[in-house]
Amino acid sequence: MTTMDSPARTFPFSTPDRFDIDPFFAQLRAEEPVSRITLPFGGDGWLITRHEDVKTVLTDARFSRAAAVSRGIPSIQPIPPIPELVMWMDPPEHTRLRKLVTKEFTTGRVEAMRPWVRETVASMLDGMVSTGQPADLVEHLSLPLPVMVICELLGVPYADREQFRHWSDAQMATTQFDVEAMVAAQHAMYEYFMALIAKRRADPKGDLLSALVRAHDDGERLSEGELVAMAITLLVTGHETTAMEITNFTYLLLQRPEKYAALCADPSRVPRAVEEMLRYVPLDVGGSYGRIAVEDVEMGGVTIREGDAVFVSSLSANRDLAVFAHPDELDLEREDNPHLSFGAGVHYCLGARLARMELQEALGAIVRRFPGLSLAVPEEEIQWRKGMIVRGPFTLPVGW
């Protein structure tokens, strides 16, 4: 049995390689579902690996995000979190801020954007075809699509994308950037949004940033720091992971030509396929943003003490045999798919509907238009992101 005195294992357990999941996660689920780990920065914590327990931590108020900031917490990143970010808040502060933007991500609002996204995808693929083969899917679709969508929604000039792409990468780094570069990126992004907010205050538009400025100025429902932090959160999370997943899903399918051909033959299967790939593809390195237990909690045969740091692994939960039949197989026809890739509880991903829609439209357009799509370089020549929270190729050269 694991105890507080049990030796902690170094985490991450191994360097992520493509979509490999360290087999040690399966061993932990079976034998030690709540285990001690040592993070690269800040010390030890508990790692939760079973689906049921992961969902409990994500939905139980006994595990606090806000306490993780106020007390400091072990981390895979060398810089501390920004306390004003909504992702590091608990109710009622979290509820107050989330309500300000929830209406922008309702099913109705997202579906109203779908025709525009579909046209945008088609235009981007037209541009890819016009450049000739081979072409980089990341350059022509995976990255510009979610960047353009979040810029349109939030009201950030698309022309500034090279600046904030660099800043976003720095925010998502573990070892790819040094501490000075990460801090500099934080400050630069903060100053950028301060200037943009001043412009929206002087000349409001019909975008989400203008709405947030009005909420601050009229009702004092968020502070200036919260206003800037919300804008940063929406920009970074609104494009980074979706861009990676468009690339990752396409790469995964091209490694399994029979599954790609099946989608080409029947594109109506794309939404279900997207859900399965959300479950199957390990986007992160294996552990989430941490929480602090605010009281003693019994879980997995151990006692997590008040004040202990707790981390969950959604990629491990998504491979739990107790929930998913044949969890290590990619089954694009899987019907019952309660994956935790968007989280759960009050911190369930605000942009989940938007991300799903973008993934459906991007993948649907690809399989309809390019039934002969293939990698244009040997697999070993594809370079993958290293030293980052999220996984994915830097480029994906394809031919058709």
The whole-number average pLDDT for the span 294-312 is 96
pLDDT in tens, 155-208: 999 999 989 888 988 888 888 889 999 999 999 999 999 999 999 999 999 899
Asked if the model's pLDDT at residue 286 lies above 70, the reply is no
The mean-pLDDT minimum among 48-62, 63-77, 101-115 falls in 63-77
DSSP string spanning 2-70? --TTSPPEESSSS---TT---THHHHHHHH-SEEEEEETBTEEEEEE-SHHHHHHHHH-TTEESHHHHH
Query: What one-character DSSP code corresponds to residue 203?
Result: S
Element (H, E) at 312: strand 309-312
pLDDT of residue 216: 82
Q: How many domains does the chain have?
A: 1
Residue 316 lies in a domain: no
146: containing domain: 82-282+326-399
pLDDT of residue 5: 61
pLDDT in tens, 78-113: 888 888 888 899 999 999 889 888 888 999 999 999
Residue 3 lies in a domain: no
Spatial separation of the C-alpha atoms in residues 176 and 169, rounded to whole Å: 9
pLDDT of residue 251: 97
SS3 content of the chain, % helix, strand, coil (to 5): 55, 10, 35
Residue 166 lies in a domain: yes
Residue 121 lies in a domain: yes
pLDDT band at 277 (very low <50, low <70, confident <90, very high): very high
More confident residue, 220 or 17: 17
* Neighbour tally for 139: CB within 10 Å: 16
pLDDT in tens, 315-346: 999 999 999 999 999 999 999 999 999 999 99
pLDDT in tens, 360-381: 999 999 999 999 999 999 999 9
Residue 168 lies in a domain: yes
pLDDT of residue 219: 64
Residue 54 lies in a domain: no
Asked if the model's pLDDT at residue 1 lies above 80, the reply is no
The whole-number average pLDDT for the span 38-45 is 92
Q: What is the largest CA-CA distance in the chain?
A: 62
Residue 393 lies in a domain: yes
Residues 154 and 207: beta-carbon distance below 8 Å: yes
Residue 305 lies in a domain: no
CATH of the domain at 94: 1.10.630.10
